[in-house]
């Protein structure tokens, strides 16, 4: 995520409170809390809320810091220091507050003459370290944050279930392919096929309705094309990289082979038992036992059989 972080002063925000989690939460718990909250405040889901984009931006920045070990340690140090100072200040009575203010005034005067005091220098160093970590994240970007934002976007897309326009055919379940390839469980590059790479490869064949890379395990994805022609072409031609080939599998009602020309549906004929044996024996055997398998295979699929949305549970 390449968004500038300068517009959010992380030192003034309790990121744990923002996500509704404890400061001891694991990375997995941080991500789970982010997804839950991001789904409720995503700008696409709140077009009339001018603060939705700002809040979503804050959540993304909180995620970026709290899943990075170094940045989180620097943030915790600053946050804990501020909490301790706030607690100490709250416990002071009015008289001691006055004495404290007088003491700090004398310390400031001494600092002007002798340089920065040790206590002030330590506090400033912690804040500088945090700012340095924030700047590092801004420059490097965060692949994990990008993945989480994409998961939220895909979830919103599935939840919305926006119907197709009348000019466009509704998804019928025949345009889906399951994609598999070899990838180690902990491979951050997913065997050479991260989301952006798969999208670029599959987009060569036509418009894509949805592309979902399995969040549970590497080496698995589901793609749905807008047209059957695009699906057939991708299924037939795409092999992926030579070093790690792709395996395609059709989903839905379509077969794994190229479709054949439909044959005419034969109407079965039955034997009239009231006729003589000679007449009855004249009935062709093919009429007595019609090829139901062949005829039923080519019954046209109607719009009522179309799936309303992709079944992404087939990923795994």
pLDDT value at residue 46? 82
Residues 235 and 178 in one domain: yes
Q: Which residue has the higher pLDDT, 86 or 178?
A: 178
Q: What is the mean pLDDT of residues 171-190?
A: 85
Listed in sequence order, the DSSP H helices in the chain are: 15-19, 27-41, 52-66, 69-91, 94-114, 118-140, 143-160, 195-202, 228-237, 277-281, 285-288, 292-297
Q: Is the pLDDT of residue 222 over 50?
A: yes
Inside any domain, residue 209: yes
pLDDT of residue 217: 85
What total of structural domains would you count in the chain? Answer: 3
Burial 136-173 (b: 16+ CB within 10 A, else e): ebbeeebeebbbbbebbebeebeeeeeeeeeeeeebbb
Same-domain status, 25 and 98: yes
pLDDT at 303: 35
Lowest mean pLDDT, pick from 177-186, 225-234, 262-271: 262-271
Say if residue 87 is in the same domain as residue 203: no
Averaged pLDDT, 111-130:
63
Q: How confident is the model at residue 99 (pLDDT cuts 50, 70, 90)?
A: confident
Q: Which domain holds residue 58?
A: 10-146
pLDDT at position 116 is: 53
One domain, residues 244 and 308: yes
Top-confidence range, 8-17, 112-121, 141-150, 221-230 = 221-230
**C-alpha span between 182 and 192 (Å, rounded):** 9
Is 166 among the domain residues? no
């Amino acid at each position: 995520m390449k968004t500038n972080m300068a517009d959010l002063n992380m030192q003034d925000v309790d990121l744990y409170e923002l996500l509704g989690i404890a400061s001891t939460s694991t990375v997995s718990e941080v991500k789970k809390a982010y997804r839950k909250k991001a789904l409720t405040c995503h700008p696409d889901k709140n077009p009339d809320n001018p603060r939705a984009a700002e809040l979503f931006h804050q959540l993304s920045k909180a995620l970026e810091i709290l899943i990075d070990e170094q940045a989180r340690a620097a943030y915790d140090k600053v946050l804990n220091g501020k909490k301790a100072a706030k607690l100490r200040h709250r416990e002071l009575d009015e008289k001691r507050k006055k004495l404290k203010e007088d003491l700090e005034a004398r310390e400031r005067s001494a600092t002007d003459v002798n340089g920065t005091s040790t206590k002030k220098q330590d506090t400033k160093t912690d804040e500088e370290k945090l700012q340095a970590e924030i700047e590092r994240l801004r420059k490097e970007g965060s692949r994990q944050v990008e993945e989480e934002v994409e998961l939220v976007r895909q979830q919103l897309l599935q939840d919305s279930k926006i119907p197709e326009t009348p000019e466009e055919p509704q998804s019928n379940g025949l345009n889906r392919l399951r994609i598999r390839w070899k990838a180690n469980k902990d491979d951050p590059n997913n065997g050479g096929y991260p989301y952006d790479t798969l999208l670029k490869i599959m987009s060569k064949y036509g418009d894509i309705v949805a592309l979902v890379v399995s969040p549970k395990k590497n080496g698995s994805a589901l793609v749905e094309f807008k047209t059957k022609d695009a699906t057939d072409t991708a299924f037939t031609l795409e092999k992926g990289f030579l070093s790690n080939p792709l395996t395609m599998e059709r989903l839905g009602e379509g077969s794994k082979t190229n479709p054949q020309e439909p044959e005419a549906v034969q109407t079965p004929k039955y034997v009239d038992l009231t006729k003589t044996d000679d007449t009855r024996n004249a009935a062709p055997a093919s009429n007595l036992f019609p090829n139901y398998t062949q005829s039923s295979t080519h019954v046209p699929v109607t719009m009522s059989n179309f799936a309303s949305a992709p079944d992404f549970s087939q990923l795994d």
